[in-house]
Amino acid sequence: MLVAPTPQRHHRAPKSTRPAPRVANSAGHQAVLATRLTPRDRWIINMLWEHRVLTSELITSAAFPSYRSGRQRLRELYLWGVVDRFQPFTPIGSAPMHYVLAPAGAAALASQHGLEVKDLGYRHDRAVGIAHSLRLAHTVGVNEWFVGLVADAQRSGAFTIDAWWSEVRCTRLFGDLTRPDGYGLLGHGGSHAEFFLEFDLGTEPLTKVVAKLVGYSALADSTGISTPLLFWFPTARREANARRQLLVAWRGLDNPDALPVVTAAANLLTPDDQPSPASAVWLPLNTHSSNRVRLREVLPACPRPAEPANDSVVVLPPPDPMPPPASGPGAGVR
């Protein structure tokens, strides 16, 4: 600073932009929304309620034909008070816009299911509060993983994603034994395959990651259902270190065959425009082969499980992960 003093013009406050006018949430506004919200808008509302936060990139990749049309529609939903948004700080570049459920969206969701907003347990401050959560990156990472599956299913048509439960729903259902980061049900060729996901960012000690096998083993013993457990690691190096410890712990379980374990690493994906967790990056834990296979090849077929009851534990049924097709005038934008 002594060598090159900062010019005075750099100390001037940036010119503030005029805030976009947002509609207040009222009974009249809810009546107007009934004529404006499309099935795809309601899908976005349901997904934000279930999964808390989705970025503009995730929403548009799954539900819109282009980023421009998705961004335009999300802006309209924001101005109508259906969604709220924030942009986390990042030291390099700029982060995508993150969307959460706003009061008008929560009111529309509750009315759709014949409930009051208070029955949902929705609070606006909690919804926006995830912007300051230390688990924001993890939550977005899990959602990005599942949206990658949804987008791949739409592109290829080789499989379907018939269920995607959030960490919150899994905790309410299985929290006394284990807390998965997500649950999925994949459909392929008339059969179904379910799985639990453990999404690792490399921030936890591997001993803590490996210790999770005990809870999943207890869940398999209590339910009598053998559900594969997927571990997703950030790098192949961390995966290799984890596999050695996982194998020792897995063999020490009372009934290891009841808990199939499969691992993969994010940096094994082909760096193209549309990477997918369904790609051939998966390797079963109890195997001597080094050949990696596609996700649907490591998931054993199972009868489709029943949806959880709509009771005091789970207020709303899980939304369909697959978005509805665009229809009607202006479908490309709306």
pLDDT digits (tens, 9 = 90+) for 48-82: 999 999 999 999 999 999 999 999 999 999 999 99
Residue 11's pLDDT band (boundaries 50, 70, 90)? very low
The pLDDT of residue 100 is: 98
Domain regions of the chain by residue span: 21-132, 136-298
Q: Does the structure show a pLDDT above 60 at 119?
A: yes
Would you state the pLDDT for residue 7? 58
Report CA-CA distances (Å) from 142 to 53, 165, 200, 215. 11, 11, 9, 20
Question: Quick check: 304 pLDDT over 80?
Answer: no
Q: Report residue 9's pLDDT band, with 50, 70 and 90 as the boundaries.
A: low
In percent, the amount of the chain with pLDDT more than 90 equals 74
Largest CA distance in the chain: 72
Convert the chain into a string of H (helix), E (strand) and C (coil). Answer: CCCCCCCHHHHCCCCCCCCCCCCCCCHHHHHHHHHHCCHHHHHHHHHHHHHCCEEHHHHHHHHCCCHHHHHHHHHHHHHCCCEEEECCCCCCCCCCCEEEECHHHHHHHHHHCCCCHHHHCCCHHHHHHHHHCCCHHHHHHHHHHHHHHHHHHHHHCCCEEEEEECHHHHHHHHCCCCCCCEEEEEEECCEEEEEEEEECCCCCCHHHHHCHHHHHHHHHHHHCCCCCEEEEECCHHHHHHHHHHHHHHHHCCCCHHHCCEEEEEHHHCCCCCCCCCCCCCEEECCCCCCCCECHHHHCCCECCCCCCCCCCCCCCCCCCCCCCCCCCCCCCCC
pLDDT band at 302 (very low <50, low <70, confident <90, very high): confident
226 pLDDT higher than 50: yes
**CA distances to 134, 184, 216 from 105, in Å:** 25, 25, 35
The domain over range 21-132 is classified in CATH as 3.40.980.10: no
What pLDDT is recorded for position 209? 96
Read off the pLDDT of each residue in 199-209 and give the average, rounded to a whole number.
95
Mean residue pLDDT across the chain? 88
Q: What pLDDT score does 90 carry? A: 84
Strand 283-284 to 160-165 pairing: unpaired
At 8, the pLDDT band (50, 70, 90 cuts) reads low
pLDDT score at 31 = 92
For 180-199, write each residue's pLDDT tens digit: 999 999 998 888 999 999 99
pLDDT number for residue 329: 41
Q: What is the pLDDT of residues 237-284, one digit of tens each?
A: 999 999 999 999 999 999 999 999 999 999 999 877 678 999 999 999
For the segment 297-305, the average pLDDT, to the nearest whole number, is: 79
pTM: 0.88
